[in-house]
Structure 1
Amino acid sequence: MTDEVNLSDTSTWLPLDGLAPGFDASKAELSDDLDGRTFTIVDDRGTRITHTFGPGTVSWSYEPGESDPTTATSDTDDCEVIEVDRDLYYAQFPHKSLPNKAVTLILDLRSGHALSVISILGQASLGKTAVQMAFAPSLIEGIETTGEAPAPTNELIGRRVLWVYSNTHAYEHVYLSPHWYTWQCLAGPEQGLADTDANTVWRIRPGIYVFTWREKVIPCGSVTIADHRDQKAIRSHGVLFGWDETGTTPTHFTFGAYGRLISHTTHPVEFDPARPLDR
């Protein structure tokens, strides 16, 4: 009789660096559209961050506004840029001087809006995941501002989506509420594993969303941008950031996935998970 695998024994779950091989098979081709160009984003505190892109790099300069306690600084980091849609770019760069911090920058050159997601890797504690995230909407200097600014959204709630990352890796996501989603591995080294973790979703353009999650078992988090406009051919681009198996070295890698809507649950109004919490 074959020994049954104990899927509930989280001590046997793969570390983040164990998942990496082959997980990036569906990653999009990198874009050089921004090479040689400079963009300055300004948030509501008056903080200005200037980004100059080069082949595989970004040089940035951080000038805090009056209410921003962050120290002024600048550096050059390795950077990957992906074109999500026309005039919409996803830039991902870990800080080499602060290896426990990674930045995702969404630039919408059509609307003049930007969104920065700063992922900070620390240690998990009761009620706190290892990766914490900060979201900073901004405006791009020199581009006329049009349309709606990026903002948190409940538009994914109720959707169940199949995501295929490679010929080996496939997962499904069920978007439960403004705070929670459930994932299940359907194929790959984590097959049979599932959990419910914290998520945050922002709307960037109609049908295009930044979807982030923070896992509690594996010390990692992810920032993705997904185009849901064609629900039979969804496309996403993202990063995973967390500790390696030793728990001492940050692991950071980008990936892509192809998705499709499996089902969509519609709750009665009185039981809508997006309604304010009864407390």
Structure 2
Amino acid sequence: MTQAQEWITVGALGDAFAPDNHCLTQSRDLAGRTLQLHYEDGGTALLAIDQLAQCSVTAPRPGIYFVDYLPQDAARAGVSLVINLEAGSFIELTGTLPTREEAHTPLLQRASQGKELTAVRLRTRRGTVGRPFADDAALPQPTTAMLGKRVEYIYSPHERYEHIYLNQRFYTWRCIDGAEKGLAETDACDYYAIAPDLYLFIWREKIIPTLGVIMVDLRAMKTTGKIMGYDGDDFDQVRNFGVGAHARVLATIPWE
């Protein structure tokens, strides 16, 4: 009998993903630019790319950018944006990792209190870029297009995973090869359509506090995105690293 694989920290996962990874190259298209964001809730903000801390910018398609950074005024948070300049719209995701106390709350207690099993919080906001928000804005929309798909993701020659998109709230992942080989779990998730065959997928794990945000391009069969969590077991240092994978759809089954 083989020994069960132990759960590892996000810091250890980031170390495992680093060598020979399939991340997209960084884009300089937005360098020196300040984008005016108009949120659908009425708020506004200026996004100065060069002034963001630990900022990463990749472009899965021309005119569509994945921007990720760590806000300086929120120690446990990370911000990811998908900016579609052609559509003049964006979606902003702010993920917040749990405190030590929140992370150690038993799952049964969370369930009995009517809370999500994951303690990782997510705030989603949408809006327009460079022009006031209007009701006819072409915003990213929740989608069911990924549901029922079983997809293999190869992040490097050493790291290979499989996702099964179960329904609008949950998906199942398993590690086929790599640092988490043998592990599998079903976690909370969200899906948004960005462009034809281009989707934004967000997941929040409950065992090891983890936020994942990736863009899945089912034309190029490639992904770009990030994974965020604590670097170690002390809950002091956040690890936020870019990921990219080659994708392959293994099967599609009815999900309803």
TM over 0.5: yes
* 1:114 is the counterpart of 2:112: no
Which residue is 2:49 aligned to? 53
Which residue is 2:247 aligned to? 259
CA distance in 1 between counterparts of 2:210 and 2:230 reads: 7
Q: CA deviation at 1:143?
A: 9.1
CA distance in 1 between counterparts of 2:11 and 2:229 reads: 9
1:44-193 mapped onto 2 (5 Å cutoff):
44-54=40-50, 57-58=51-52, 77-122=53-98, 123-124=102-103, 125=105, 126=110, 127-142=116-131, 148-193=138-183
Give the secondary structure class of the aligned counterpart of 1:20: helix
> Is the CA contact 1:22–1:166 (under 8 Å) kept in the aligned structure 2?
no
> Is the CA contact 2:97–2:121 (under 8 Å) kept in the aligned structure 1?
yes
Runs of 4 or more consecutive aligned structure 1 residues displaced over 2 Å after TM superposition: 142-148
More helix by share: 2
CA distance in 1 between counterparts of 2:251 and 2:137 reads: 30
> Is the CA contact 1:112–1:144 (under 8 Å) kept in the aligned structure 2?
no
Give the letter aligned to residue 88 of structure 2.
G
The alignment's TM-score, normalised by the length of structure 1, stands at 0.81
Give the secondary structure class of the aligned counterpart of 1:5: coil
Specify whether residues 132 and 144 from structure 1 end up closer, same or farther in structure 2 by C-alpha distance, changes over 3 A only.
closer
CA distance in 2 between counterparts of 1:34 and 1:169 reads: 30
**Higher RCO, Cα 8 Å, sep 6+:** 2
Which residue is 2:228 aligned to? 241
Structure with higher Rg: it is 1
C-alpha RMSD of the superposition: 1.9
Q: CA deviation at 1:43?
A: 1.1
> Is the CA contact 1:111–1:144 (under 8 Å) kept in the aligned structure 2?
no
Which residue is 1:208 aligned to? 198
Structure 2, unmatched stretches of 5+, are 111-115
* 1:41 is the counterpart of 2:37: yes
CA distance in 1 between counterparts of 2:242 and 2:68 reads: 8
Percent sequence identity over aligned pairs: 28
Q: CA deviation at 1:113?
A: 0.7
